[in-house]
Homo-oligomer: A and B are copies of this chain.
Amino acid sequence: MERHRTSNPDMKRQNVRTLSLIVCTFTYLLIGAAVFDALESENEINLKNELLQHEKKMIEKFNISEEDFEKIRINVLHSKPYKAGVQWKFSGALYFSLLVVSLIGYGHSTPKTVFGKLFCMGYALAGIPLCMIMFQSVGERLNTFVTYILKNIKKCFRFKKTEVSQTDVLFITLSLSSLILTTGTLLFSELENWSIIDSVYYCFITLTTIGFGDFVAMQKDNILQTRPGYVFFVLLFILVGLTVISAAMNLLVLRCLTLNSEDEKRDEMEAAEAARNAVRLNGDVITGNGGVVSNANETPEYQDTVSVCSCSCYKWRSPNSGKIYNSNPNINHVTSFSVAKEDEMSEETDSFLQWQKAKRASF
């Protein structure tokens, strides 16, 4: 019961955070809808009228029946990818595979056969986690490398503090991301004859993995087959870009996961403290009966409060603390141990709170 009373308020706090995130997202969506409506609606109407007038002209000029024009429409829409070049020979298929597993999914060319669609789903099912883990892993390595370099630079210039904060690393990775974005923008605007706005828009939509597919590289003059060097550059741009962004995401996502894991840690602290009190009681009663059962029962309790969090300290989760009581029914040992635990625990609680404050400050 004690445990429940301590953990409930924290559960509430985490639910409140989640609820406020939901409210924020919905508000953000409504604001976005309003702004996009304001920005695009008028242009949409004008463009639509323009296109319809032009269509009418063509229909009249060539005296095409509505039925036939619909046939032409369908034909044009279906043949769009094939007009751009061969899409499914090896280099094109490799481009498509990368677009699937990286979640970009332009959709400039998609499988048309049933087996193609089925394989695409199976391929994505295994490929997406693999790709995600790969990018996260490389991103994490990149962060470690950046940290190492930064630390050595700080040492070289004899800084007082040689330790490197997550913020420093995040700053570097975000700078790298914008460098890649800029390079891509300039190169694609040159190679694809896009305006700078369209080019930066393409790079941004690609590297965020939104991948609208309104602008797609290598979709003219059969480039996929004729210019392997360019194909290599585009694949490299996507891979390097996504790696650097993953490095930033690795820090950002971990930072946000930390908020929950901090709560989990506090839950454990409280649960552990509650458990310690319980153990003390056992310590007094142990002469009568080594009340180990109640102590053994504690462990799962922490486990299911932290089950979704890999960040929480394994120590309280480990049955060791329990084992010690089991293996040593010696009261002196229990008392001395529980006292040692008490010091260490309060010391830890302090250090945890300090660390938490420091973390909050560094935000």
Contact = CB atoms under 8 A, between A and B. Distances in A.
A213 B213 contact: yes
A98 interface: yes
Contact of A29 (B101, B105, B133): B101
Contacts of A17: 137
Contact of A308 (B75, B131, B143, B303): B143
Copies of this chain assembled into the complex: 2
Interface residues of A, number: 157
Given A136-B256, A138-B18, A51 B34 contact: no
Given A93-B33, A127-B32, A253-B132, A355 B314 contact: yes
Contacts of A68: 58, 61-62
B89 A41 contact: yes
Contact of A40 (B93, B143, B151, B305): B93
A75 B72 CA distance: 11
A315 interface: yes
A120 interface: yes
Interface in A43-80: 43-44, 47-48, 51-52, 54-55, 58, 61-64, 68, 71-73, 75-80
B211 A304 contact: no
A328 interface: no
B310 A313 contact: no
Nearest to A29: B97
Interface string A294-323: 000001100111011111011101111000
Nearest to A133: B256
B51 A138 contact: no
